[in-house]
Structure 1
């Protein structure tokens, strides 16, 4: 079967690779296959189904959990993608931060740690940290390495071409163009701006991903083996690409409040990107019509959901069978058949 995938971000590439593994004749169309403009390039790569599940969208949790279970094998197949399963330590600095965090920890069924217990796990934490909770099943990868590995797997099948109209495509088409999916399909996908920093210092300051709040400012700190620490991320309902003093200040202040030792790190990179959001902040996965399938709008969860999205979409294309996992995510929920 010949299949065209429109979009060469982490979702489109994962789908293309899965189809290729199942012997489909697949071509991925990407306007800039060596580019860095996608949400994946600025993503930290946290695989945190508990922390990313929103209370108001409980139907998203089974999908997140299912994809998280696929990641160990998925990462092993791709090779060196910075996979780390050390877990995530969530922390709270102030009494108000703790009151908010307790609600999330209870939702995840995590045991609350005292500040001292949290520092036993992560000695670099500030002595001001009041409490924490440890999520041992959460993981991380480096999305830039993941995309590079997926591109290698699809060598010779990625075509540099900007698709502006789906009517010019023949056969089965999968639209996985991130924020660009709105223009191609009319689906309500919006741009959600995120600013992110990368710091660099001696390796080993942090052992785990740290996800915390400091005086109401939320930040996550994702350590890499080479000494890089990803600090993210703002979430702004804006479409511009400006890196702002306020955004950088909020990220750095929260990061240094939680882990003072980061003050010695070099600012290696600051970047801005856009997450593809939907009205309910859940992805769109399913048939738009009898020829076009959509896999887009993954918002904050594109990296985490890449393996399960690839599997579910490949099943839909090759067998026509729609897994019940995607019943809540079809384009039809927005009035699109």
Structure 2
């Protein structure tokens, strides 16, 4: 067999493309992932790893809220199976999330979200200032109130992508890094589709192609215009601190301007900006200040912590900030991109749905609102 032939070729080795490849590889499906840089090296690396349907999604985004909830419920088994296949711990933490209101106005908005969550059966608790400080002593004594979301968890996103690569390879799939797609040639006559890559102008072929190239999905060379998803890069600046005794956070802590995500290894991820700056990846003083100032309002003690890392990622934002998942108008081309701020949490639902469809099954109803066809321009 030609080593560059497969049943499914996935363009993009971020958490979405890798998750789909892993689910396919578990069935014995021949799958190859082509990644222009390092697998998991773009937005997936710069994420914080929050699995937060309750705290992360605006309650006016009901379809996305439902999908994120479905994804969070899949994550315990998703993480367990991935650890089993890869032998790598992904640091799945189920301590829940605390959403803190810094002042009475923020508390009023938080109360409305809390009541919506209660109406829809989510496990949330309203906490007074004293109750919140009892759970997280390093919260600011100035906060007005907080909500505890028991069903919101977190995971080490970098460990997840490492585990996905290891699992895919262990199951017989392939992840080709430093392999940039330079042309896509879709066959409209029922034959295999072809992809050219650099370096070396290599030629790859597959019965179906998955476009999971994140912020680069729209600009991929060779894509038919009708198949280009309306995705753009949204810049995010983020930093990692090192927790040192006596400082400690047990839960993910969120506010209106920042979030703080503790890791078992003592790291504390603090983020993130959301900037319409094209493909600009420069760190800026203003961006980092904004993140730190928002986090300081919630947890003042962070200002004494050592900085371990600062970084920038480019999230794939769609025209309506919702994921784009499903068959395109070009036969054989499946799209899985546009996950914006929710790529890590939605990787579980996206992978399960995409793998089912790519293996000949139906798209789950919960995914229907996110079809690429919603952007179709009728003549």
TM-score by length of 2: 0.84
My pick for the range that moved more, 200-209 or 149-158, is: 200-209
| Residues 1:102 and 2:141 are matched in the alignment | no
Distance 1:74 1:99, change over 3 A: same
Q: Which residue of 2 aligns with 1:12?
A: 17
Distance in 2, Cα, partners of 1:208 & 1:96:
23
Q: Which residue of 1 aligns with 2:318?
A: 278
Counterparts of residues 1-337 of structure 1 (less than 5 Å): 2-34=7-39, 36=41, 38-79=42-83, 80-109=89-118, 110-155=124-169, 157-160=174-177, 161-167=179-185, 168-169=194-195, 170=205, 171-184=207-220, 185-202=227-244, 205-213=248-256, 218-239=257-278, 240-288=280-328, 289-335=330-376
Check whether the contact 2:10–2:17 (CA below 8 A) recurs between aligned residues.
Answer: yes
Work out the number of aligned pairs and report it: 332
Q: Which residue of 1 aligns with 2:190?
A: none
**CA offsets 1:134-163 (integer angstroms, 9 cap, x no match):** 000110001000000001012260123211
* Offset at residue 33 of structure 1 (A): 3.1
Distance in 1, Cα, partners of 2:248 & 2:25:
40
Distance in 2, Cα, partners of 1:298 & 1:336:
22
Distance in 2, Cα, partners of 1:135 & 1:277:
26
Distance in 1, Cα, partners of 2:323 & 2:100:
28
Distance in 2, Cα, partners of 1:187 & 1:260:
42
Distance in 1, Cα, partners of 2:304 & 2:290:
18
* Offset at residue 111 of structure 1 (A): 3.5
Check whether the contact 1:187–1:336 (CA below 8 A) recurs between aligned residues.
Answer: no
Distance in 1, Cα, partners of 2:44 & 2:128:
35
Q: Which residue of 1 aligns with 2:202?
A: none
Check whether the contact 1:33–1:158 (CA below 8 A) recurs between aligned residues.
Answer: no
Distance in 2, Cα, partners of 1:283 & 1:101:
25
* Offset at residue 35 of structure 1 (A): 6.5
**CA offsets 1:3-47 (integer angstroms, 9 cap, x no match):** 1111100000000000001111111111123572x1111100000
SS at the partner of 1:166?
strand
Check whether the contact 2:48–2:156 (CA below 8 A) recurs between aligned residues.
Answer: yes
SS at the partner of 1:127?
coil
Unaligned runs of 5+ in 1: none
SS at the partner of 2:261?
strand
Distance 1:270 1:140, change over 3 A: same
Check whether the contact 2:95–2:250 (CA below 8 A) recurs between aligned residues.
Answer: yes
* Offset at residue 254 of structure 1 (A): 2.2
Unaligned runs of 5+ in 2: 1-5, 84-88, 119-123, 186-193, 196-204, 221-226
Distance in 2, Cα, partners of 1:9 & 1:282:
17
Distance in 2, Cα, partners of 1:42 & 1:33:
13
- Rg (Cα) greater in structure: 2
Distance in 2, Cα, partners of 1:186 & 1:63:
23
**CA offsets 1:227-264 (integer angstroms, 9 cap, x no match):** 21111111112221121111111211222232122222
TM-score by length of 1: 0.94
